Amino acid sequence: MVPQETTVFRGTWRFNLDPMGEFEDEQVNLAVRLTRFSNWLAKHAPRGLDEPVPEGAALGQELKALLGIGRALLRLLQRRSKLLVMDGATCALDSASDATLTALLLRYCRRREVAMLQTSRRTNQVALYDTVAVLQGGRLMEHGPAKKLWAKDGALRALARAQGVDSAALTKADAVTDRLTSVWSWDVSPQEDPAWSDEFSVSLRKMKDKHAKKKD
C-alpha cells in the first residue's frame, strides 16, 4: 500500500527506494523514470540516486508521494503482489499531474495483471477506472462504471459538478485524454530520451497518434 504520507529514511535516495538492496539498478532506474522522480534528481542531486538525502530537509509532499509510489512499483516489478493500493497517494500532486500519473500506473498494472485500488477526492480521472465507488460519511453511496453512475444523476454527478467536471469529461475517453497533461510536456532529465525509454513508450505513442488522428 502507498500511504498519503511517505516516510523518508536517513541515507541515500537509492536506500530510500530499496532499503534492503533487493533490486537491480535497471529496476530501480525504471521505477524512478516511471514516476518522473528522475527529473528532480537530475536538477537537485549531482550524484543521482547515490546522493544522500539531506538530514532535516523539509521535502515537499509531491516528492514524498513519488518516492512512495516508486517503492511500490519495485515490488510489482518482481511480481510480489497482484494488488496496488493507493491511499490518497497522489493527492499532493496537482490535478493534471495526478491524472497523468494515474493513467500511467493503470497501464502498468494492467500489463502486469495487477489490480489497482485508489482513493481520491478528485473526479477528473474517474473514467480511467473500470469501477468507481462513491463514499460519503463512511457509507457506500453508489458504485459502478462512471458512465452509468453519471446517468443516474446521483452522488458521483453531484461531486463532479461541485468540482467543475462536466458530463462529457466523465463519459468520453477522448475527453479524459484531453485533460491529461501530455507525457511529452513533462521536464525530461539529461539522461533520458524524450520519447521515453521504458516499456510504456510504444503504447503511449499509439495512444497519442490515435487521438491525433481523431482530431484531424
- What would the DSSP string read from start to end of 72-118? HHHHHHTT--SEEEEESTTTTS-HHHHHHHHHHHHHHHHHTT-EEEE
Domains of the chain with bracketed CATH: 1-120 (3.40.50.300), 127-184 (no CATH)
User: How high is the mean pLDDT in each 10-residue block of the chain (216 residues)?
Assistant: 88 94 91 86 91 75 88 83 90 82 83 89 83 93 89 88 73 49 36 37 46 57
User: How far is the CA of 22 from the CAs of 75, 78, 112, 153, in angstroms?
Assistant: 10, 10, 20, 49
State the pTM of this model: 0.71
Read off the pLDDT of residues 181-197 as tens digits, 9 standing for 90 and up.
443 333 333 333 333 33
Residue type, 120: S
Which pLDDT score is estimated for 167?
Answer: 63
Read off the pLDDT of residues 87-112 as tens digits, 9 standing for 90 and up.
988 888 888 788 778 888 888 888 88
